[in-house]
Amino acid sequence: MKKLVVVALMIGSVGWADEVLAQKPPLLPEKDVAALSNELSGETAKRNLEGIARFHRQRGSRGFHEAAELVAERLRAYGLSDVAILQFPADGKIFYGTQRSRPAWDAEFAELWEIKEVKEAKGVKENDASANWQPARRIASYGAEPIVLAEDSETADVTTELIDVGEGTKEGDYPGKDVKGKIVLVGAQPGAVQELAVGKFRAAGIVSYAQNQKTAWWGEDENLIRWGHLETFSANKTFAFMVSLKTARGLRERLAHEEKIRLHAVVKAGQHAGNYEVVTATIPGADPKLKEEEIAFSCHLDHQRPGANDNASGCATILEVARTLQKLISQEEKTSAEQPPHLLVNQGRLSRPARTIRFIFPPEIEGTMALLNAKPEFAKRIKAVAHMDMVGGGPETKAVFHVTRGPMSLPSFVHDVAWAFAEFVNEESYKFAATGKAEYPFVAPEGSKEPLRAEYSAFTMGSDHDMYQDSSFGIPAIYLNDWPDRYIHTNFDTAANIDPTKLKRAAFIGAASGYFLANFSVYDVPPTDGAIITGRLLRTAPLMQRLPETTPDDFGVLPVNTIRYEHGILNSIDAFAPGMGHELSTDWAKTIDDLVGIRASGPEARGSGKVIFRRISQPRGPLAVFGYNYFAEHAKVAGVAMPKLLSYEGLWGAGEEYAYEVLNFANGKRNAQEIRDAVSAEYGPVPLEIVEEYLRALEKIAVVEQVK
Ligand SMILES: [Zn+2]
Buried/exposed code over 17-48 (b: 16+ C-beta within 10 A; e: otherwise): beebeebebbbbeeebbbbbbebbbbbbbbeb
How far is C-alpha 80 from the geometric centre of its chain's CA atoms?
25
Query: pLDDT band for position 365 (50/70/90)?
Result: very high
The predicted-structure confidence for 235-281, as pLDDT tens digits, reads as follows: 999 999 999 999 999 999 999 999 999 999 999 999 999 999 999 99
C-alpha torsion angle, residues 543, 546, 548, 549 (rounded to 10): -150
pLDDT single digits (tens) 124-153: 555 566 668 999 999 999 999 999 999 999
Confidence of residue 660 (pLDDT cuts 50, 70, 90): very high
- Whole-number pLDDT of residue 219: 93
Q: What is the predicted pLDDT for the residue at 552?
A: 80
**Cα 419 to averaged position of ligand 1 atoms, centre (Å):** 21
Q: What secondary structure does DSSP assign to 132-191, as a single string?
A: GEEEEEEEEETTT-GGGBPBT---EEEEEEEEE-TT--SGGG-TT---TTSEEEESS-HH
Which segments within 421-535 are labelled E, that is strand?
455-457, 477-483
For residue 241, give the H/E element and its range: strand 240-242
- Give the 3-state secondary structure of residue 282: strand
**Ligand 1 centre distance from Cα of residue 488 (Å):** 9
Is 166 or 20 the better-scoring residue by pLDDT? 166
pLDDT digit string (tens) for 616-658? 999 999 999 888 999 999 999 999 999 999 999 999 999 999 9
Q: What's the mean pLDDT in 94-112?
A: 97
What kind and span of H or E run contains 360? strand 356-361
Cα of 89 from ligand 1 centre, angstroms: 22
Distance 268 CA to ligand 1 centre (A): 27
C-alpha distances in angstroms, 699 versus 150, 285, 703? 37, 42, 6
Separation CA 105–CA 272 (nearest Å): 6
CB 222 within 8 A of CB 246: yes
Averaged pLDDT of the chain: 93
Residue 627 confidence (pLDDT): 87
What SS3 state is found at 303?
strand
Residue scoring higher pLDDT (540 or 227):
227
Q: Phi then psi for 347, rounded to 5 degrees?
A: -75, 145
Q: How confident is the model at residue 382 (pLDDT cuts 50, 70, 90)?
A: very high
| pLDDT for the residue numbered 508 | 98
Which of 185-199, 217-231, 324-338, 596-610 shows the lowest mean pLDDT across its residues? 596-610
41 alpha carbon to ligand 1 midpoint, in Å? Answer: 22
Query: What is the per-residue pLDDT for 600?
Result: 53
Q: What distance in angstroms lies between residue 389's CA and the mean position of ligand 1's atoms?
A: 5
Q: Which domains, and CATH codes, for the chain? A: 40-102+275-337+350-518 (3.40.630.10), 104-272 (3.50.30.30)
H/E stretch holding 109: strand 104-117
CA of 242 from ligand 1 middle (Å) equals 20
Between the CA of 16 and the centroid of ligand 1 the distance, in Å, is 39
How much distance in Å is there from the Cα of 314 to the middle of ligand 1? 8
Sequence-ordered list of residues with C-beta below 8 angstroms from that of 342, at least 6 positions apart, any chain? none
Distance of CA 600 from the midpoint of ligand 1 (Å): 38
In order of 628, 633, 700, the CA distances from 639 in angstroms are 18, 10, 9
| pLDDT of res. 606 | 73
CB 529 within 8 A of CB 13: yes
Cα 404-291-475 angle, rounded to 5 deg: 30
**What's the pLDDT tens digit per position in 679-703?**
999 999 999 999 999 999 999 999 9
